[in-house]
Structure 1
Amino acid sequence: MATAHYLPGRRGEPVSKHRSRSAPPYGIDQARLREIATRRIDPQVLKDVKEKARSAWTDHSERRARTPTSYAADFHIKSLDEPTPMRPPEPQRRNKPHPPEVFLTTRLRSVPGYHDPDAAVDKPTYKIDASRSKKEQELRAILRRKYQPRPATTSMMQFDRRRALQDTLDPHAAQATEAWLKLANDKDKRAVLGVINDMANRRLIEKEAETAFRPEAVPSLHRWLKKAGRSEAEAMTRLMKTLSTRPTALPTEGPHFHITDYSKVAEVYGCNPRPYRREFVLHPEWKWEYIQKHGDIKRTVPHLQHIEAQTTPYNRGPQIFTPSLCGL
């Protein structure tokens, strides 16, 4: 009895390794094989098959050598039987209507808890697994913090443009202007954005002028801004920013304070800066030659009196002074 394989063969017959060598394979009729063997085929047909196979291989190799890319060598003969006909537009297509272009270029309002396109600057941030402990979440956050990408400049600029539109125009006009800017060419887009930026700068100047200038000067400023150009408006914006910022305070202490001349500041404010340890220096009139000549003398009273007689009344001994600005 032949031992069959556990997998079934073709047509439900078992696959056994104890078959005779002369037995035909499964699924082939012996009568069909005898019919094919006794059939007489025209030699010209066989010759044509060989020529086609030989030309296919040679043409492919020659074509690959001539073409710059392998894709052109393999698919350059590919052609369609007939062009695909375009589907005519149907006004009765209620299931898939054609939306207007304004709907395709504007966005809906952001809903809390859902995706906000304005906040999506770059790739989504790394989400920490909530099933982990608090300590594990902090460690993962620290490891991932250095991989946070830098926001793209183009993504940040689109927020500035939208903010300028919302500050300058009403909501409906801002939405229509944003949709038009996405469909306009570069020349018209630059011109419109320049006008919008000028309007935003003028509104900013008018808002800050109410607090920076005196009330009687505000109407004159408004009349001047109506006839001012872009350069004048930008200059006024820089002036407003300068007036609104606090002036830089001059340093009154530090290691190089005695080198820099801040005498006028000291006279105006009447300051007496606190001396620091690094600012003490030896007086230049202290005479070290006497000690160098006489060696290490004993600090007795006669010797000290002799040293005091050799020095000036201003400097008695190795005096140490502190530079003061208030006396300059």
Structure 2
Amino acid sequence: MSIPATYQRIVLASRPRGPVTPENFRLETVPVPQLAAGEVLIRNHYLSLDPYMRGRMSAAKSYASSQQLDQTMIGGTVGQVLASRNELYQVGDYVNGVLGWAEMGVSDGVLLRKLDATRIPLSAFLGVVGMPGMAAWYGFNQIMQAAAGETVVVSAASGAVGSVVGQLARLRGCRVVGIAGGQEKCDYVVRELGFDACVDYKAGNLEADLAAATPDGVDAIFENVGGACLDAALARTNAFARVALCGLIAGFNGGELPIKNARLLLINRLTLRGFIITEHMEYWPQGLQELAVLVANGQIKYRESVADGLAAAPEAFMGLLQGRNFGKQLVKLI
């Protein structure tokens, strides 16, 4: 494979004050570095865009260090090895890494994962058989622990994480109720993914509609959004319900996230646990293997929104934060 002399990347030019803007990013052309011993040069085919990136753009203290200014924006990638000085990786291998918003990248091999793209499309390793899928698998199996016949509520139900949670719950025999924005997303969640019901939070009747969809109350919640969605779901909880708190996208632009129904945490003896999936890597081999089988067999479906070219990444990311994506948001780089 021929190796170009330069590649493009996008760096964080400034930290957002409120909503993310195009001016927060800068597209650069940089030279391809020489490999040191143990390193691998990778041509990225797809870049993953995920809500957690908004938190990293802030300088505020969080569970992970902030994205550095003037450095390549963080992000998961899948691609192909162009050159290798690491005996574990050969030229032509397909790999999953965290090489960021860039056409190419160098890895020391520590965070790389070899991929078998014969039964599953390469892009799926950034979604349903990647970090989002693992977040769904872990939250459902380790925190929600929903049994057949129980009612499960999933916010951002048509997204990369929520869609997998709902399908895992359906396979378990649960009653599955999604929350999504817009009739098109709700129709997809019910008709394509097999949810029992889906509430359109944009319709303006969130609490009443969710109550109607959960006549027997709620036994487990997978929360991606926070704010009004979480409050409405808490209002429907049964005793000893479990809440897996994966994301709080409603607060990413600095908005407050009050919980009006906090008293139900005590009254219903709820278990609410936040988690960061990269802190539970010991579960990844089992979870990814199970997800891969389910996807290959057609038991879990997924949908992707794909932006074309690295320069399209900022606009696609801003759209993701506003809910304009449908399913997993990717950027196609090749």
Structure 1 length normalisation: TM-score? 0.18
Q: Which has the higher contact order (CA 8 A, sep 6+)?
A: 2
Q: Answer with 1 or 2: which has the greater Rg.
A: 1
Higher strand share: 2
Higher helix share: 1
